[in-house]
Amino acid sequence: MAETINQGGVRRGHRAAVFDLDGVLVDTAVHHRAAWQKISAEYGFDLSAETAEATKGVGRFEALDLVMRSAGIKLSESERMTAAARKNEYYLDLIADISPAELLPGAVSTLQSLDSLGVRIALASGSKNAGGILDRTGIRDFFDAVVDGTVVAAPKPDPAVFLEAARRVGVSPADSVVFEDAAAGVEGANRAGCTTVGIGLPAVLSAARLVAPSLLEVDWTAFFGPAGV
Ligand code: BG6
Ligand code: MG
């Protein structure tokens, strides 16, 4: 059964919602994983579930290094460049027809509700492909700021992408709630001083303040309702 945990201490009065993209708003984490599996197969091994999970949220090259290390393979610098570029080609092929149908449960209703409450909304994604996905799924207009892998180079779990997202919407990290599906993202958001909501499994996202199976199960009024109510 789907499990929702609330580690307590949640307070109202937050003023910004900062969303990861892949695996939180859009069902693209599966495509990243499939592209890494294809690369793994080319090098003669199967991508384990554990390694696939570890690639979530981290940058393209960091993910490549995790994948290769899991099979004891050391690539030269030029092989790294080629393999990372090929993974991205596979990924772009997989998302070539992406549409609003790939938005995850609760994504649009959450964005609409927060927007109507006047909550500032930002994207904090490590992906260089985020902009195209926002456009093709039709959700770009919900965002007051878009910070992605083309803006901030330091990959999660570095807190920089979350700090920049909060800065661009003019809200302190302490008043920002981050929604993340990756352990690296939860760690980065915690390091930034944000309140973290994990979307996925408690076993993977135990460092988050609250974990829910999808955005549908998150009681966002607990974070964004008026302070003191
Ligand atoms: C994150 C994904 O959003 O972006 C990671 O969760 C991915 O799996 C990272 O490695 C970088 O993405 P891209 O699209 O620039 O290779
Ligand atoms: Mg993600």
Report the domain count for the chain: 2
Whether the predicted pLDDT of 112 surpasses 60: yes
User: So what's the pLDDT on residue 8?
Assistant: 59
Q: Are residues 123 and 145 in the same domain?
A: yes
pLDDT band at 111 (very low <50, low <70, confident <90, very high): very high
Looking at the fold, whether 113 and 204 belong to one and the same domain comes out as yes
Residues 132 and 210 in one domain: yes
158 catalytic residue (yes or no) = no
Residue 140: how many other CB atoms lie within 10 Å:
15
Label residue 1 by pLDDT band (50, 70, 90).
Answer: very low
* CATH number for the domain that contains residue 175: 3.40.50.1000
Of 46, 68, 94, which marks where a domain is finished? 94
Q: Are residues 137 and 112 in the same domain?
A: yes
CA torsion 153→156→158→164, rounded to 10°? 60
CATH of the domain at 61: 1.10.150.240
CA distance 181 to 53: 10
Structure confidence by residue, pLDDT tens digits, 23-64: 999 999 999 999 999 999 999 999 999 999 999 999 999 999
Strand 16-19, strand 195-199: pairing = unpaired
Same domain as 107, residue 89:
no
Question: Which of residues 94, 117, 132 is at a domain's end?
Answer: 94
- Say how many Å lie between the CA of residue 117 and the centre of ligand 1: 30
My answer on whether 106 and 77 are in the same domain is: no
- The residue among 46, 79, 94 that closes a domain is 94
Q: pLDDT confidence of 10, banded at 50, 70, 90?
A: confident
- Is the predicted pLDDT of residue 3 greater than 50, yes or no? no
* Phi and psi angles of residue 180, each rounded to the nearest 5 degrees, phi first: -140, 145
Q: Which of 25, 58, 151 should be mutated for ligand 1, with most atoms under 8 A from CB?
A: 58
| Nearest ligand 1 atom to alpha carbon 32 | 8
pTM of the model: 0.95
User: Residue 55: CB within 6 Å of ligand 1?
Assistant: yes
The answer to whether residues 57 and 146 belong to one domain is no
Band of pLDDT at residue 11, cut at 50, 70 and 90: confident
State yes or no: is 22 an active-site residue: yes
- C-alpha distances in angstroms, 15 versus 127, 190, 225? 25, 17, 9
Q: Is the CA virtual torsion 187, 192, 193, 199 positive or negative?
A: negative
pLDDT band at 225 (very low <50, low <70, confident <90, very high): confident
How far, in Å, CA of 93 to CA of 87, rounded? 10
Residues 21 and 38 in one domain: no
pLDDT digits (tens, 9 = 90+) for 138-148: 999 999 999 99
Same domain membership, residue 155 and residue 124: yes
Which residues form the domain of 87?
Answer: 29-94
Smallest-distance ligand from the CA of 24: 2
